[in-house]
């Protein structure tokens, strides 16, 4: 039995240094250099290295459906780095009280830094090729454009925070970009990490069954998506707009575009303003 299997079957998650998922994924070990030498297969696959106190929360929902299949098929790889292993002392402490006082605990700079060091082997230093991200409510709001940028990178390193957050010095030292899922506060970065990874890998070639399906989705063309319908033809007296059964592609496209514009105008005036500005420029 491999060590990994042993850990899994005994549920020894705290001893498990880190885990990874998918055909091409590898385990990080105490010797991060092994990541390079042991992973010739990883070349080419988009990779996410996630630093977390809760590696068992992964792949989570990313292990399901299209993203799960793509992970199995080696179209992307997930490597988990357990922050706890870099903890200090017998109790592997990762956090301490905030300097200057106040509520809660802060993740230590030296602990987080050691995790970033462990994640570094095999990653390009250019932040466009390999963004290093800390998920944080203070960050730049995550968007379709950001997902597109990340999907064009070789991979990303993502730090999931907990408690009151992370010592600022680790973020400065490792040139970390802060990315926010929205104007609300989560308990930890793990759900946000899964959202960012999901939105990014669906833009990788071949991850979605139909390459066209990302083209006219909400946000990809500056508009919200038109309404969708399927069977039954009559649902509690509500029928499907006639044009959709016309078989006339031109009319269907026109109708959809009109609906998308209407929805965007009424629901998202900010997007609508950007869309109409773009229209007048071109």
| Residues of the shown chain interacting with ligand SAH in the complex, contacts defined by CB under 6 A | 135-138, 160-162, 164-165, 180-182, 184-186, 188-189, 192
Nearest distance, CB of residue 270 and ligand SAH, angstroms = 19
Which among 70, 53, 74, 41 has a CA at the least distance from the CA of 188?
Answer: 53
Which one, 192 or 260, has the nearer CB to ligand SAH?
192
Closest residue to ligand SAH, Cβ-based?
A: 161
Entry field: residues in the chain: 282
Which residues are 140's β-sheet partners? Answer: 179
- Nearer of residues 35 and 160 to ligand SAH, judged by Cβ: 160
Nearest residue (CB) to ligand SAH, 122 versus 161: 161
Rounded to the nearest angstrom, the gap between the alpha carbon of residue 69 and the centroid of all alpha carbons in its chain is: 16
Q: Is 50 exposed, middle or buried (0-12, 13-18, 19+ CB in 10 A)?
A: buried
Rounded to a whole number of angstroms, the minimum distance from the CB of residue 91 to ligand SAH is 21
Question: Which residue, 39 or 82, has its beta carbon nearer to ligand SAH?
Answer: 82
Q: How far is the CB of 162 from ligand SAH (least distance, A)?
A: 6
The answer to whether the beta carbons of residues 173 and 136 sit under 8 Å apart is no
Q: Which residues pair with 107 in a beta bridge?
A: 95, 166
Total Cβ atoms within 10 A of residue 68: 15
Comparison of 46 and 134: residue with beta carbon closer to ligand SAH:
134
Report cis status (omega within 30 of 0) of the bond before 232: yes
First to last CA, the chain: 62
Beta carbon of residue 136, minimum distance to ligand SAH (angstroms, whole number): 5
Considering the complex, state which of residue 75 and residue 162 has its C-beta at the smaller distance from ligand SAH.
Answer: 162
CA distance 206 to 194: 19
Task: For the CB of residue 104, give the shortest distance to ligand SAH in the complex, in Å.
Answer: 7
> In 10 A of CB 267, how many CB atoms?
11
Please state the closest distance from residue 135 (CB atom) to ligand SAH, in A: 4
């Amino acid at each position: 039995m491999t060590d990994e299997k042993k850990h899994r079957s005994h549920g020894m998650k705290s001893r498990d240094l880190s885990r990874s998922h998918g055909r091409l994924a590898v385990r990080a070990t105490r010797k991060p250099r092994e990541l390079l030498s042991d992973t010739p297969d990883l070349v080419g696959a988009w990779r996410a290295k996630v630093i977390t106190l809760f590696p068992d929360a992964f792949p989570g929902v990313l292990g399901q459906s299209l993203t799960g299949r793509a992970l199995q098929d080696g179209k992307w790889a997930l490597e988990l780095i357990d922050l706890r292993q870099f903890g200090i002392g017998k109790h592997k402490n990762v956090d301490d009280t905030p300097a200057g006082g106040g509520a809660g605990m802060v993740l230590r700079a030296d602990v987080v830094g050691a995790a970033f060091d462990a994640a570094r082997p095999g990653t390009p230093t250019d932040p466009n090729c390999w963004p290093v991200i800390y998920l944080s409510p203070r960050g730049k709001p995550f968007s379709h454009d950001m997902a597109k940028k990340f999907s064009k990178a070789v991979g990303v390193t993502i730090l999931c925070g907990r408690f009151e957050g992370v010592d600022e010095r680790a973020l400065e030292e490792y040139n970390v970009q802060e990315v926010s899922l929205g104007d609300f506060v989560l308990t930890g970065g793990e759900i946000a990490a899964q959202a960012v990874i999901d939105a990014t890998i669906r833009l990788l070639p071949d991850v979605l069954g139909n390459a066209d399906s990302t083209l006219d989705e909400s946000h990809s063309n500056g508009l919200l998506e038109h309404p969708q319908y399927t069977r039954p033809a009559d649902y509690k007296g509500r029928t499907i707009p006639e044009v959709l059964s016309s078989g006339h592609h031109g009319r269907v496209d026109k109708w959809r575009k009109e609906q998308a514009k209407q929805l965007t105008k009424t629901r998202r005036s900010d997007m609508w303003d950007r869309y109409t500005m773009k229209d007048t420029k071109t």
